[in-house]
Amino acid sequence: MIIFNFIKPNQKQQNSQKNNSNFLQADAKKITDKNREQAYVPSRISECEEYLKDKFCNSPDVIIEDFETKKKKVLIAYIDGLANKDLIDRDIIKPLKSTDFKGEVSSALNACHTISDDIDDAAFEMVNGNVAIFYEKSRQAVIVDFKQWDKRSVEMPDSETVTRGPKEGFTENIRTNTSLIRRKIRNPRLVFENLTLGRQTNTSISLVYVKGIVNKDVLEEVKSRLAKIDVDSILESGFIEQYIEKNSFSPISGIGVTQKPDIVAARILEGRVAILCDGTPHVLTIPELFLENLHSSEDYYNRTLQSTMIRILRVVGLFIGVLLPGFSVAIITYNQEMIPASFLTHIITSTQKTPLPSAAEAFFLILMFELLKESGTRLPRAVGSAITIVGSLIIGDSAVSAGIVGAPMVIIIALTAVASFIVPNLTEFISIYRLFFLFLGATMGLLGIGAGIVIMLTQLISTESFGIPILSSFSKNEIKDSVVRFPLRSLKYRPASIAKDNIKRIK
Amino acid sequence: MTSKASITATQLMMLAVGSSFMFPYTFMPILNAPPANQDVWLVLLLSIVYIVIMCSPILFIANKFRGLTVNEITEVILGKFAGKLASFLFVLLFLFCYAACLSMAAIFVKIAIIPETPTWAFIAFAVVPISYATYKGAGTIGRLATFIVPFIMFTIIIFFLMGIPQIDLKVLQPVFADSTFLDINKGALITSSRLTEKTIFLVFSYFLIKEANINKTFIKALLLYNFFYALILLPTLLVLGVDLAQNAFNPYFVYTRQVHGYDFIEKVQALNTLAWFPGLMLKLTLYNFMGCYMLSGIFKMKSHKSFVIPFSVLAAVFCLIPAINKADIILTLASDQIFPWIVFPFTFVLPLILVIVYLIRKKKLDNILQYIKQHDLSSQCLLLENFKNDGNK
Amino acid sequence: MSKKLLVILECILILALLTGCWSRKEPKNMSMVNSILYDLSPSGETQVMIEVMHPTGEGKKAGGSTGDTGSGDGASAPMPLVFEGKTVAEALRNLSKNQDKELFGGLNQARIFSEKLCKQGVGPILDFFARDHMTDETPLMVVVNDDNPKRIYTCSTGMSDMLGNYLSSLSDTQQKITCEAVFVTSLQFFKDYYTDGQQPVMGLVRIEENTESTNGDQDQPQKPYIIYEGLAAFKDDKLVGYMNGIETRDYNMLTNNFKITAISVPYGNDFIAVIVKKANSKINTELQNEQIKINIKIKAVLTIIQEYGSIDISQREVIKQVEQEFNEFLKSEIEKTIKKAQNEFKSDIFGFGRFFHAQHPKEWQKIQENWDEKFSKAQISVNVESSIIMEGEIKIPFTMEKKVNDK
């Protein structure tokens, strides 16, 4: 499917350029759309109460209480669990009920607030965890930001673990996440641009970039694609990723995903854009080049030689993961003379009593490996490791002794599996192309592998991530930070294909 | 016109080099060109001069009409009808080369790699990556070359280094012993007229980024090509000996079979296949692309894409005609008697005619050129029409 | 629309490939050929014997039962069957009728030829090798100098399990260590065969009967064993004679294939054993009045490894003398060797013709056709220069040291 997507015209992208001249304008338009039948705040608070109860369908977690103060009748409304009750008591109710209250609500509050004259807007703010205060005859609502809800603290993410480097990871709370980034880059030119996506979920999204470094073309492209999203729900950044990517059937998306603030900081300092999505610790970075899947933040924290060696190891792992099953099947079934005679004898001996041809053996083992991998990841950690042991030790061993597969093929697939874990970001890519190469190797031998390499390269080359070809890491400056990593001192330039306008990093 | 793909000088160089050493890689025609003895390396050396001479008309035109597509160049020089005819001749050349190379590859594959596989299966199989890569256009092909060609070069160097212990320098010893200077010249002429890759510089000059210098790229490509040709030719000659190499259908393949080392690397000729096949794909993709591109120019189509599959199918059908699909016929076709003399008129005579006509109509054409240069280069196609209309008024 | 149709058609074609997999061969359906013996039957047909690898890893000969031609005499491994045919291809086809698996020649180690076949000419067989893509140029080529060449499959195979493996590692080792054998692969043979001015050679094997019974077990006669020594000289594709080990050493020196060897040089009444570490030959050809003159210059580097106590080699003059002795000794041996090629073989196996070609290209055109005849009448002059670089780890002879100490 992926291979033949050249039938589809890719030109549709062009007309998107027209209708997004100004992103913010588009955002503003959305809000006015929402408020088409504008609902003003009623002057009587009992009407307010009725309206809100109706709006929230009498939901028990919505707390609407009115009380009398010295001067006025006041109604405060908030959602239980989203707002901080202690603060409400201390900074809203207490000053309003005190004898000093002079009738002016906004000046009496001990908190920052905004004023809205639209009750729907106020309701929306309540959903976000703010407190809305209405009072008699004002036709205004005072909105106080007392958001507080239970959230996970900043922890070490379970993937992307490092031995050296910061251990903190993003949380589900977008505010925490923005603060984590802000703490890395203490620069006023770090820009967050907020918008809300999802007609039902109203998820807040934040675009992060450093002004002056960011690639403006990419930024515009991201904004225009984001503006085109008009869906019910955005529950995770994966939704955004899939709505803004160009080719849904490509095995690589051109969008990076990370859970670590230091990685996001490094990426946006190279001129990229990051997209934070509320409710998920996974942050998107755009664009992502192919080779960056082989990089890890640790590469920059460790010394040059070590990092370079590990990177080369990852490239080897990538090649083994993609090519080894197909290549070995091609050699075993077409070019036996390449195998040293003693080893060929072993292969002949071990496959003598097995029923399957080599290609089917490889396919069977790959299938088994994928099954084990999937069952291991979804289960609780303790059970997961048990599955792995059962799978790898018992099934693998008994498959050989039961005569279903030959031992050499088990070794080959095991090596492939281990190698593909060395580049966790490319697991999908590797498993898809592994099957593709297995098919080609089994049908046409090494010629098939050659043809597969051409097809894979063509696909990678022609894939663009937001206008930037994902294989463009091989220019003169970028090669210093590609398969090898030069000393930090000599990495004077940002990746030229990404940070087009401001590429000098060190003077 | 669609948005213009651009390729860099390195990519053009890699394209030209990679595509042109596929012939030596496959069956090394130079061994059977006169003088056909141990002096063939002199032929290779001398062919540099001939290639420069033969390529000069193409380079002259490509430099002079930089920024115009090849169809526009022929139409500007020769007029609308004759220009289209000339372009069509080029298309025929590319179709011929495409089909001829495909059938040569099929024969080689049938003889040496997978003998039981029927030819139609191989061709149906090979056409897919070619069409796919062609479909993606000039930029992708150029960048594909920068990945495939260095890999081929790498394997050539590795095979050369591993073959060193077996090299027998005595093979080359009597220089000029059995051949006259005339023979060597003849060989160099044939060897250099065999190169169809000269046309790349004509077709791809339009895509080349403005900063790149065509002449420099050409010279670099030529030297690189000759260097790697030597790395293919010399070890083959020195390890197999002249007579055995001449007798083999694919001498380099036989050479790579002899390479061994460290007790476990033996008979690694199949790895050569792994480098050879992508290279071949690149060469065929190039022919396919150039043919489709020029066709789309003739019919003033927006994109070459609609021609890709018909062009491939045509070439594949041509290969599968039972009368043509025979080893002896294809070998004759590829031999020195036929192939170079088919390519020669297209790569030298036709461009030479263009140059002569240009020199005759120099004044008028220079006006057009100046007009184009004054205006935005990206929309020359329209401008040309405008200019003609202006001229008519 | 039509484009989509074409793509779908193409997909179907590709899927058709999956059902085909025409050239696919599963290793478990192959039997690996390890060595092939070519012989001539009394009626003049080609006979082929094939040794294949048994899937359990042990050597097993094709056929499995004892052939009628084998002398056998109690050898444990069964002899391969002999198959005949007018051509090699036919013989191999007849052979395949007995095989339950497809023969795979890609890892063949040795091609063994009988004396009878070689005398008749190996050309037609070589043509078959060069054409068929499964049989390549890497296997070793040897001639069995024995009345019953098929007996070779009853011989002991040393450390290896198969004869083919044994022969190929034996020849490699022998050329490296003693230099009294040649290591000729098919490629080398083809090259020499094609090159004008050089005649090909092959390795030589002879079979020795093991008469000594070591453990007194009279009922179990020992296996015969193989000696890999000397070379078989060819003229075009026909066998013309054999050279023994010493002559083969000289052959290696003359063709610059020399690695290392030990030579015992007579010195007075004793011998001095020297190791020749390097021997480079330089060949100059001249043409004088239709008479070809070949000047050979050999430069050798020696080390003394063993000597009897009669001479004190710690003295410069003595060393000079030893060198002189060595030069004379080697010179006479090489002259003898070349004489043998000239008179007995009338075949230029040393490749002097190639040097003549390079040095006198014009004249070569004229005499190219009957070079071997010219060679057999050529005047040979050999000149050996040697230098002793190191005398071993002790300075004065072991037996003499005592006398020095006594004083």
Token pair, residue C203, equals 């390795």
Distances (CA, A) of A33 to A29, A37, A123, C275, C407: 6, 9, 16, 100, 122
Average pLDDT for C194-217 = 74
Which of C363, C198, C359 has its CA nearest to residue C290? C363
B3 is a domain residue:
no
Q: How far apart are CA A499 and CA A208, in angstroms?
A: 15
Q: What pLDDT, on a 0 to 100 scale, did the predictor assign at position C216?
A: 52
* Chain C residue with minimum CA distance to B247: C130
Query: Over the stretch B52-91, which tens digit does the pLDDT of each residue have?
Result: 888 888 888 888 887 788 888 888 888 888 888 888 888 8
Q: How far apart are CA C51 and CA C139, in angstroms?
A: 14
Q: Is the pLDDT of residue C75 over 80?
A: no
Q: What pLDDT, on a 0 to 100 scale, did the predictor assign at position C405?
A: 54
CA A227, A230, A236, A242 torsion: positive or negative? negative
Query: Is A461:B136 a contact under the CB 8 Å cutoff?
Result: yes
Q: What pLDDT, on a 0 to 100 scale, did the predictor assign at position A309?
A: 92
Angle ∠(B24,B25,B28) on CA atoms, nearest 5:
35
Give contacts of C 240-269 with B, CB under 8 A.
none
Which CATH number is B173's domain given? 1.20.1740.10
Query: Over the stretch A377-394, which tens digit does the pLDDT of each residue have?
Result: 777 777 777 777 777 777
Query: Over the stretch C104-153, which tens digit does the pLDDT of each residue have?
Result: 777 788 888 888 888 888 877 777 776 665 567 778 888 888 777 777 77
Query: Over the stretch A448-476, which tens digit does the pLDDT of each residue have?
Result: 898 899 989 888 888 888 888 888 777 77
* Distance, CA of A76 to chain centre: 38
Query: Is B43:B35 a contact under the CB 8 Å cutoff?
Result: yes
DSSP H helical segments within A337-424, as ranges?
341-351, 358-378, 381-389, 396-401, 407-420
Angle between helices C245-254 and C316-340 (to 10 degrees): 100
B391 is a domain residue:
no
- Percentage of chain C surpassing pLDDT 70? 77
A473 is a domain residue:
no
Query: Over the stretch A393-420, which tens digit does the pLDDT of each residue have?
Result: 777 777 788 888 888 888 888 899 888 8
Residues A247 and A114 in one domain: no
Average pLDDT for B100-108 = 85
Lateral strand order in the sheet of C261-267: C261-267, C270-288, C291-307, C379-390
Which of B204, B257, B195 has its CA nearest to residue B226? B195
Who contacts C327 (Cβ-Cβ below 8 Å, separation ≥6)?
Answer: C384, C385, C386
Q: How far apart are the first and last CA of chain A?
A: 48
Who contacts A97 (Cβ-Cβ below 8 Å, separation ≥6)?
Answer: A67, A69, A70
The dotted CATH code for C246-407 is: 3.30.300.210
Q: How far apart are CA B99 and CA B276, in angstroms?
A: 18
Q: In this structure, how many other beta carbons lie within 10 angstroms of the beta carbon of residue B17?
A: 25
Query: Into how many domains does chain B fold?
Result: 1
A138 is a domain residue:
yes
Give contacts of C 105-134 with B, CB under 8 A.
106, 130, 133
3-state secondary structure at position C271: strand
Mean pLDDT of chain A: 81
Average pLDDT for B380-384 = 51
Q: How far apart are CA A207 and CA C228, in angstroms?
A: 80
What are the DSSP calls for A419-444, one per residue?
A: HHTTSGGGHHHHHHHHHHHHHHHHHH
Q: What pLDDT, on a 0 to 100 scale, did the predictor assign at position A490?
A: 84
Residues A120 and A158 in one domain: no
Range of the domain at B96: 9-360
Query: Is A105:A115 a contact under the CB 8 Å cutoff?
Result: no
Burial of A226 (0-12, 13-18, 19+ CB in 10 A): buried
Query: Over the stretch C252-274, which tens digit does the pLDDT of each residue have?
Result: 888 887 878 888 877 777 777 77
Q: How far apart are CA C318 and CA A75, in angstroms?
A: 124
Token pair, residue A110, equals 């001990």
Q: How far apart are the first and last CA of chain C?
A: 110
Who contacts A31 (Cβ-Cβ below 8 Å, separation ≥6)?
Answer: none
Select from C25, C28, C29 the residue whose CB has the most chain A CBs within 10 Å, as the one to mutate to test that interface.
C28
Across A239-260, b (16+ Cβ under 10 Å) vs e yields bbbebbbbbeebbbbbbbbbbb
Q: Confidence class of residue A325 from pLDDT cuts 50, 70 and 90?
A: very high
Q: What pLDDT, on a 0 to 100 scale, did the predictor assign at position C304?
A: 75
Range of the domain at A360: 301-465
β pairing state of C102-104 and C30-40 = parallel
* Distance, CA of C258 to chain centre: 14
Residues A281 and A314 in one domain: no
Query: Over the stretch B109-119, which tens digit does the pLDDT of each residue have?
Result: 887 777 777 88
Query: Is B51:B192 a contact under the CB 8 Å cutoff?
Result: yes
Asked if the Cβ–Cβ distance from B117 to C20 is below 8 Å, we say yes
* Domain's final residue, options A109, A144, A179: A144
**Least CB–CB distance from B278: residue in A337, A453, A471:** A453
Q: Is the pLDDT of residue B204 over 80?
A: yes
Most distant pair of Cα atoms in chain C: their distance: 110
Q: How far apart are CA A20 and CA A223, in angstroms?
A: 8
Residue with tokens 């001015």, as numbered in its chain = C197
Tell whether A344 is within 8 A of chain C (Cβ).
yes
Q: How far apart are CA A112 and CA A130, in angstroms?
A: 11
Q: What pLDDT, on a 0 to 100 scale, did the predictor assign at position B334?
A: 75
Give contacts of A 283-342 with C, CB under 8 A.
332-334, 336-337, 341
Query: Into how many domains does chain A fold?
Result: 3
Residues A424 and A277 in one domain: no
Query: Could you tell me where in chain C the CATH 3.30.300.210 domains are found?
Result: 246-407
**Cis previous bond, A287, omega within 30:** yes
Q: How far apart are CA A266 and CA C71, in angstroms?
A: 81
Three-state SS string over A167-210 comes to: CCCCCCCHHHHHHHHHHHCCCCCEEEEEEEECCCCCEEEEEEEE
Query: Over the stretch C351-369, which tens digit does the pLDDT of each residue have?
Result: 888 788 877 777 777 777 7
Angle ∠(A29,A32,A36) on CA atoms, nearest 5:
135
Residues A344 and A448 in one domain: yes
Query: Is B352:B202 a contact under the CB 8 Å cutoff?
Result: no
Query: Is C248:C230 a contact under the CB 8 Å cutoff?
Result: yes
Contacts of B276 in chain A (CB under 8 A): 450
β pairing state of C30-40 and C110-114 = parallel
**Least CB–CB distance from A443: residue in C11, C18, C53:** C18
Query: Is C201:C182 a contact under the CB 8 Å cutoff?
Result: yes
Tell whether B109 is within 8 A of chain A (Cβ).
yes
**Least CB–CB distance from C6: residue in B114, B257, B309:** B309
φ/ψ region of C197 (left if φ > 0, alpha if ψ in -120 to 50, else beta) reads left
Which of C13, C3, C50, C16 has its CA nearest to residue C31? C50
Token pair, residue B5, equals 């793909």
Q: Confidence class of residue A284 from pLDDT cuts 50, 70 and 90?
A: very high
Which of C314, C308, C304 has its CA nearest to residue C274? C304
DSSP bridge pairs for A190: A210
Residues A321 and A383 in one domain: yes
Query: Is A266:A130 a contact under the CB 8 Å cutoff?
Result: no
Q: Is the pLDDT of residue C241 over 60?
A: yes
Q: How far apart are CA A134 and CA A67, in angstroms?
A: 11
Who contacts A161 (Cβ-Cβ below 8 Å, separation ≥6)?
Answer: none
Tell whether B161 is within 8 A of chain C (Cβ).
no
Q: Is the pLDDT of residue B243 over 50?
A: yes
* Domain's final residue, options A288, A311, A340: A288
Q: Which residue has the higher pLDDT, C103 or A426?
A: A426
**C269 — phi, psi (to 5°)?**
-90, -15
Query: Over the stretch A90-120, which tens digit does the pLDDT of each residue have?
Result: 888 888 887 777 777 777 777 778 888 788 8
Q: Is the pLDDT of residue C372 over 90?
A: no
Residues A126 and A64 in one domain: yes
Tell whether B257 is within 8 A of chain C (Cβ).
yes
* Chain C residue with minimum CA distance to B118: C22
B380 is a domain residue:
no
Q: Confidence class of residue A207 from pLDDT cuts 50, 70 and 90?
A: very high
Distances (CA, A) of C404 to A145, B94, C396: 109, 89, 9
Distances (CA, A) of C238 to B152, C119, C251, C255: 42, 5, 19, 21
**Least CB–CB distance from C28: residue in A352, A439, A445:** A352
Q: What pLDDT, on a 0 to 100 scale, did the predictor assign at position C77?
A: 47
Angle between helices A446-462 and A304-334 (to 10 degrees): 140
Residues A29 and A54 in one domain: no
Kindly state the helix (H) or strand (E) to which residue B296 belongs, with its residue range. helix B269-298
Q: Confidence class of residue A312 from pLDDT cuts 50, 70 and 90?
A: very high
Q: What pLDDT, on a 0 to 100 scale, did the predictor assign at position C20?
A: 57
* Distance, CA of C103 to chain centre: 25
Residues A162 and A132 in one domain: no
Q: How far apart are CA A375 and CA A392, in angstroms?
A: 12
Q: How far apart are CA C331 and CA C338, in angstroms?
A: 11
**Cis previous bond, B35, omega within 30:** yes
Residues A397 and A365 in one domain: yes
Interface confidence, given as ipTM, is 0.88
Q: Is the pLDDT of residue A274 over 90?
A: yes
Tell whether C107 is within 8 A of chain A (Cβ).
yes
Residues A178 and A122 in one domain: no
Q: How far apart are CA C376 and CA C365, in angstroms?
A: 18
* Domain's final residue, options A266, A288, A310: A288
Q: Is the pLDDT of residue A28 over 60?
A: no
Q: How far apart are CA B345 and CA C205, in angstroms?
A: 60
Query: Over the stretch B332-368, which tens digit does the pLDDT of each residue have?
Result: 777 777 888 888 888 888 888 888 888 888 887 777 7
Query: Over the stretch B130-154, which tens digit does the pLDDT of each residue have?
Result: 888 888 888 888 888 888 999 999 9
B237 is a domain residue:
yes
* Distance, CA of C271 to chain centre: 30
Beta strands in chain B (DSSP E): 260-261, 265-266
Residues A140 and A164 in one domain: no
Asked if the Cβ–Cβ distance from C57 to A444 is below 8 Å, we say no
Q: What pLDDT, on a 0 to 100 scale, did the predictor assign at position C3?
A: 61
Q: Confidence class of residue A276 from pLDDT cuts 50, 70 and 90?
A: very high
